[in-house]
A = this chain, B = another copy of it.
Amino acid sequence: MVQGLILLDLWVSPYAARVKIALAEKGIEYESKEEDLSNKSSLLLEMNPVYKKVPVLIHKGKPISESLIIVQYIDEVWSHKSPLLPSDPYERAHARFWADFVDQKFQAAIYRIIWATKSSEEKEAGEKEFIECCKMLESELGMKPYFGGETFGFVDIALIPTYSYYHAHERMGSLSLVEEFPKLTAWVKRCLERESVSKSVSDPHKIYEFVSQLRKHKGLE
């Protein structure tokens, strides 16, 4: 256990899962504090006054927020083991581009589907975006085992926690990732075989239940 290393955590958050995977890859133990979003802790409000969101990693009393920034911080501080970003500047920029793509496009498309109103148009638009994203990711992955090449790294960490959500999306939608995107599907399986991932990502069945209940609560069902 690294003294004074605390993660403000949330089981449904794919962003918190990224931080957990990165710490597990580095073999770093820490204290996890589960937040209740309906009653945010004073520690969360104090540590992330700008966004008031998880994840926040607190190291030596100082907070780091925004999941991709936290993962880079972890990679820089604990650089002795399992490098997550490549050392070459071009490859680093390339990895940052695709990790950012996951946030800007892929995750946005998933949320659009999951929180779509009953209107089928809205859901269809989201699904179209999602398929476009999957095509780009399938092409970017190509024949490589991981996005960065031979070893699990930054883009894999950015993307794999969304798995629990696109499971929910598959159950809600009409698409099958397995048939349409064989490379991505094999990549998901490959990632889930890593203990760092399987222990960190949300249980997809629980996410499905969570999303279904929240949709009912919001009057979307």
User: A59: which B residues are within 8 A, CB to CB?
Assistant: 90
Is A26 engaged at the interface, CB distance under 8 Å to the other chain?
Answer: no
Q: How far is the CA of A77 from the CA of B88 in the complex (A)?
A: 9
Is A1 engaged at the interface, CB distance under 8 Å to the other chain?
Answer: no
Q: Is the CB of A66 within 8 A of B136?
A: no
Q: Is the CB of B76 within 8 A of A62?
A: no
Q: Is the CB of A50 within 8 A of B101?
A: yes
Tally of chain A residues near chain B (CB < 8 A) = 23
Is A89 engaged at the interface, CB distance under 8 Å to the other chain?
Answer: yes
User: A90: which B residues are within 8 A, CB to CB?
Assistant: 59, 62, 64, 73
Is A41 engaged at the interface, CB distance under 8 Å to the other chain?
Answer: no
Q: Look across to chain B and name the residue whose beta carbon is closest to the beta carbon of A101.
A: B50
Q: Is the CB of A69 within 8 A of B100?
A: yes
With beta carbons under 8 angstroms apart, the residue of B93, B105, B136 that contacts A69 is: B93
Q: Is the CB of A100 within 8 A of B136?
A: no
Is A72 engaged at the interface, CB distance under 8 Å to the other chain?
Answer: yes
* 17 further contact pairs, Cβ within 8 A, besides A50-B101, A77-B89: A50-B105, A62-B90, A64-B90, A64-B93, A64-B94, A64-B97, A65-B97, A66-B96, A66-B100, A69-B96, A69-B100, A72-B92, A72-B96, A73-B89, A73-B90, A73-B92, A73-B93
Interface residues of A (CB under 8 A from B): 50, 59, 62, 64-66, 69-70, 72-73, 76-77, 89-90, 92-94, 96-97, 100-101, 105, 136
Q: Which 10 A-B pairs have the closest CB atoms?
A: A76-B89, A73-B93, A64-B93, A69-B96, A77-B89, A69-B93, A73-B89, A69-B97, A66-B97, A62-B90
